[in-house]
């Protein structure tokens, strides 16, 4: 199946044959026993590729776990009394980040308002959301979170 066209006018037939041989050589290496057992940094190019493919398909690289949930802010924040601590399944904080999303409506016209809270801390089994809303006219928001841990 052709994916496009290539202008080969002026190209010598011997050059085309050489490219075909190179492609066939690389194709023959795929699955060859000598090109297995490599690591990401050791072995032939094909052995390295096979090692990477094995890691991708066996969970050695990429996202390990995603935890999602929702919580409600406490009334007007700005001090530790307004922090919210959420318990999560155990993660490695060095390989984890937290996404916080949410919104609130102002008490005046039900217009959208920005949630001003922030991730205050993250431990192996919990994270703390620091409430930072400065107005009592804004209703406490529902905050959605995602805790994403990598291998």
CB 47 within 8 Å of CB 29: no
Residue 16's pLDDT is: 74
Residue 111's pLDDT is: 45
What is d(CA 11, CA 9) in angstroms, rounded to the nearest whole number?
6
CATH architecture of 63-150: Sandwich (2.60)
Report the pLDDT averaged over residues 128-143: 73
Residue 38's pLDDT is: 64
Indicate the SS3 state at residue 134. coil
Q: Which conformational region is residue 37 in: left (phi greater than 0), alpha (psi within -120 to 50 degrees), or beta?
A: left
Which pLDDT tens digit goes with each residue over 86-117? 999 999 999 999 998 876 555 554 444 555 68
Domain boundaries, the chain: 13-58, 63-150
């Amino acid at each position: 199946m052709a994916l496009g066209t290539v202008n080969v006018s002026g190209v010598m037939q011997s050059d085309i044959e050489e490219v075909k041989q190179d492609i066939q050589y690389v194709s023959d290496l795929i699955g060859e026993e000598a090109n297995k057992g490599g690591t990401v940094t050791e072995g032939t190019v094909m052995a390295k590729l096979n090692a990477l493919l094995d890691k991708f398909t066996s969970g050695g690289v990429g996202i390990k776990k995603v935890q999602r949930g929702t919580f409600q802010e406490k009334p007007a924040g700005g001090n530790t009394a307004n922090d919210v601590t959420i318990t999560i399944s155990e993660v490695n904080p060095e390989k984890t980040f937290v996404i916080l999303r949410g919104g609130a409506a102002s008490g005046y016209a039900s217009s959208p308002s920005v949630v001003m809270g922030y991730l205050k801390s993250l431990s192996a089994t919990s994270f703390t959301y620091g409430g930072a809303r400065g107005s009592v006219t804004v209703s406490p928001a529902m905050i959605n979170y995602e805790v994403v841990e990598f291998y």
